[in-house]
């Protein structure tokens, strides 16, 4: 009999943020192929009898080619194993799950996707920032700064949007300049969240302009940009004033 592959989201790092379904599947796994950023605390939940392999990708380090990961999943499942492909955050956001789904379908391997808490939600919760607010932010834009960041990646960002930039890198000066080219005021609040939901979590609040001089925080990090990231908002009136100010800057 063929086995099955589970494409599972591990969440931002805290094992208590795993879904119950993800936990159940992990405890029944014969093999776990995990990303680099999956926390050690989560890997401790895997049975000792399971084969566990790190197939993660990190910039500047030797990593497992995607084709090899696909072959491993297919081979193990074809041998009758329950395989968990464990990904940080949510498997459907800024991962290579599309390529993995395609390969599993071609090989006629049964698979299931188990969503997880994405880094955007984990980081926002850690920083106590609402990603939307009916007074200020009516939309969310998710983008990645890894390698291909630029105006083409984020487009024009309106003042009533929250931009969440995954993998902003450590060249904050460049990111600051590109955000301003994308239509954001230099006064737009933003927050850098590093290693969200873990014991080493750090949150730093700044503005798009002042981001340029910030000391980079350790990866994995995420940048939340928009009025919702203001350091302190005590009333809807204050928030409205911030939006009005950003609109004025955008028109200059």
Enzyme catalytic residues: 35, 57, 167
Write the secondary structure of the chain as one string of H (helix), E (strand) and C (coil): CCCEEEEEECECCCHHHCCHHHHHHHHCCCEEEECCCCCHHHHCCCCCCCEEEECCCCCCCCCCCHHHHHHHHHHHHHCCCEEEEEECECCCCCCCHHHHHHHHHHCCCEEEEECCCCHHHHHHHHHCCCCCECCCECEEEEEECCCCCCHHHHCCCCCCEEEEEECCCCCHHHHHHHHHHCCCCCCCEEEEEECCCCCCCEEEEEECCHHHHCCCCCCCEEEEECHHHCCCCCCHHHHHHHHHHHHHHHHC
């Amino acid at each position: 009999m063929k086995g099955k592959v589970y494409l599972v989201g591990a969440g931002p790092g805290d094992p208590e943020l795993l879904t119950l379904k993800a936990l159940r599947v992990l405890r029944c796994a014969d093999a776990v192929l995990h990303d680099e950023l999956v926390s050690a605390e989560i890997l401790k939940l895997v049975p000792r009898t399971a084969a566990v392999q790190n197939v993660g990708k990190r910039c500047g380090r030797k990593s497992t080619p995607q084709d090899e990961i696909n072959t491993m999943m297919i081979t193990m499942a074809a041998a009758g194993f329950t395989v968990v492909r464990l990904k940080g955050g949510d498997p459907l956001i800024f991962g290579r799950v599309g390529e993995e789904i395609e390969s599993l379908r071609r090989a006629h391997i049964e698979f299931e996707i188990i969503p997880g808490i994405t880094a955007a939600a984990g980081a926002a919760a850690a920083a106590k920032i609402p990603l939307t607010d009916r007074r200020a932010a009516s939309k969310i834009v998710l983008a990645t700064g890894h390698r291909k960041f630029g105006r083409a990646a984020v487009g024009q960002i309106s003042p009533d949007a929250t931009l969440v930039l995954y993998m902003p890198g450590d060249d904050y000066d460049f990111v600051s300049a590109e955000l301003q080219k994308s239509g954001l005021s230099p006064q737009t609040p933003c927050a850098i969240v590093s290693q969200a939901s873990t014991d080493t979590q750090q949150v730093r609040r700044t503005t798009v302009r002042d981001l340029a001089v910030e000391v980079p925080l350790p990866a994995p990090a995420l940048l939340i940009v928009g009025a919702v990231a203001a350091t302190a908002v005590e009333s809807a009136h204050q928030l409205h004033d911030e939006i009005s100010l950003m609109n004025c800057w955008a028109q200059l």
